[in-house]
Structure 1
Amino acid sequence: MKVPTVTEALEIYAGDYASFGIVFKREDGTPADMSRFTHWRAQWRRSPGAKGAVNLDLDTSNTIDGKITLIFWGDKTAVDGGEIRSGVFDIQAEDQATIRTLLKGSISWKGDTTR
């Protein structure tokens, strides 16, 4: 199965909270019920396979409507002490004990001026 890829980088501004709503859809364009998936997880890395993964938060409370939210907290993106910079992410979940990568993409991190 080819993993869907976000074609534009998600832009993160240093130290800011950011969230990105994602809707999984069927071929006909209607929202896909994703409630069968469990153990959702997301990670950021500088590049695919690089060491030093950072776990990201996900809001999966609306998976029945195909909706999840990928969350970046300001402390993880801060210039001073933050771990996340430009890099890549993916989102995985389990379907009957089989781990599936459901989405991948890239992050464009922008340094801030005010600290």
Structure 2
Amino acid sequence: MVEIQKFNTTDTVKSLGLMIDLPAIGFCAICEGRIVASFGLAWGNGRCWLWYYTEELQTRHKHVVRRQAARLKRMARQLGHDELFVVRDQQWETSARLVKLMGFELLEVIDGQEVHVCKLKDSE
């Protein structure tokens, strides 16, 4: 069973070896006492960004990823954002499909990184 917990973004992000130097709110997914993923919202360059990180993407966690993405989209909308942005992680070959399933569309490519956007609706 996967448990979701809110965390202190700075401490947990550093412990995972991630570089998120923007104001952020974060959550982690814990399975069998181990952090299996971290995700949240970050703000920078006038945009609200969804971020997600895992070292080992497992099929059994795909529903957690989609549920938490939907939760973060609702949270961004409640905070007054009309759009949510994500940089596709090209390390995972399935990330293009996952980003599309979550409702994001390719916006632009910056320095080789694909930036996708999701137009948030009032119902999200």
How high is the TM-score relative to the length of structure 2? Answer: 0.28
Structure showing the higher strand proportion among its residues = 1
Higher helix share: 2
The normalised TM-score by structure 1 is 0.30
**Which structure carries more relative contact order (alpha carbon 8 Å, separation 6+)?**
1
